[in-house]
């Protein structure tokens, strides 16, 4: 089975722009979660989608949004980029989204905001 | 809400020596614990997890972790490390707040294996 794929792998943007990141989960997985990883804050949960519905959200401003499509693929969008948004954005998928389900991570998208 | 503490940010160790990476958690509900490993420029890979049953869980590459409810710990151990074990290790708890499948991670421990 193919793993979780994320596109693009690297992205450079300037302040004020917006960006869309894409995540394709493992086939059959219905839950997709997003995490932000930075040296200062570590790994922080952004949001989780299950069957096209946002089921859980972390403590991030409204500039961070996401969606999930009927094929479970997910996108996250960051509007009005700030320098502090520079990070590795990781997507993870799990089978049914239960607390006991293992989350499988993609390689991440490295976003640099200049 | 749950939280995870990894007190050691870096652990240097010589090859073939034993290692222990410490993880403590706080939770008021049933606990599901995970250890993930991250190699440079890669995502996270699951090493092992504790859901219920035997408190000692093992991975396929020689790591093991023991769930200790009284000490609220889930330390990761390996009796003999290899240079290829050099990576960052994250302990995580499945967070019950808000429903769904949300992981709360510790700050990570960088394991550096030296020859």
Q: Report, as an integer, the average pLDDT of A57-77.
A: 96
Question: Which tokens sit at A42?
Answer: 């570590």
Report how far apart the first and last C-alpha atoms of chain A are (Å, whole number): 37
Q: What is the pLDDT of residues B68-101, one digit of tens each?
A: 999 999 999 999 999 999 999 999 998 766 667 8
Higher pLDDT, residue A101 or B74: B74
Quote the minimal CA–CA distance from A84 to chain B in Å.
18
Beta bridge partners of A24: A5
List chain A residues with CB under 8 Å of B32: 99-100
Alpha-carbon gap, residue A28 to A23, rounded angstroms? 14
Q: What is the pLDDT of residues A15-40, one digit of tens each?
A: 999 999 999 999 999 999 999 999 98
Best probe of the B interface among A91, A103, A106, A107, by most B CBs < 10 A, is A103
Strands (E), A69-106: 74-78, 87-94, 104-105
- Tell the residue number behind the tokens 């995490």, with chain if given: A35
List chain B residues with CB under 8 Å of A50: 100
Strands (E), B29-106: 33-38, 44-50, 56-58, 64-68, 73-78, 87-95, 102-105
- B35: nearest CA in chain A? A102
Is A107 in contact with B43 (Cβ distance < 8 A)? Answer: yes
**Contact between residue B74 and residue B91 where contact means Cβ atoms under 8 Å apart:** yes
Question: Which tokens sit at A79?
Answer: 């509007």
List chain A residues with CB under 8 Å of B107: 42
Contacts for B50-55: CB closer than 8 Å, 24+ residues apart: B50/B74, B51/A100
Q: In this complex, is the C-beta atom of B53 within 8 Å of any C-beta atom belonging to chain A?
A: no
């Amino acid at each position: 089975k193919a793993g979780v794929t994320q596109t693009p792998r690297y992205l450079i943007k300037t302040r004020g722009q917006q960006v869309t990141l894409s995540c394709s989960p493992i086939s059959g997985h219905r839950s997709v979660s997003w995490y932000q990883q930075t040296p200062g804050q570590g790994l922080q949960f952004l949001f989780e989608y299950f069957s096209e519905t946002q089921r859980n959200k972390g403590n991030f401003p409204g500039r961070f949004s996401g969606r999930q499509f009927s094929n479970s693929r997910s996108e996250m969008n960051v509007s009005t980029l700030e320098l502090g948004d520079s990070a590795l954005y990781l997507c993870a998928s799990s089978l049914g989204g239960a607390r006991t389900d293992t989350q499988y991570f993609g390689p991440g998208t490295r976003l640099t905001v200049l | 809400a749950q939280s995870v503490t990894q007190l050691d940010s870096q652990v240097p160790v010589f090859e073939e020596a034993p290692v222990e990476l410490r993880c403590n958690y706080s939770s008021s509900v049933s606990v599901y614990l995970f250890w993930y490993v991250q190699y440079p420029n890669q995502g996270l890979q699951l090493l092992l997890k504790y859901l219920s049953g035997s408190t000692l869980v093992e991975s396929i590459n020689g790591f093991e972790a023991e769930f200790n409810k009284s000490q609220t710990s889930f330390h990761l151990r390996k009796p003999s490390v290899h240079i290829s074990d050099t990576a960052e290790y994250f302990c995580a708890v499945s967070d019950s707040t808000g429903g769904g499948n949300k992981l709360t991670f510790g700050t990570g421990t960088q394991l550096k294996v030296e020859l």
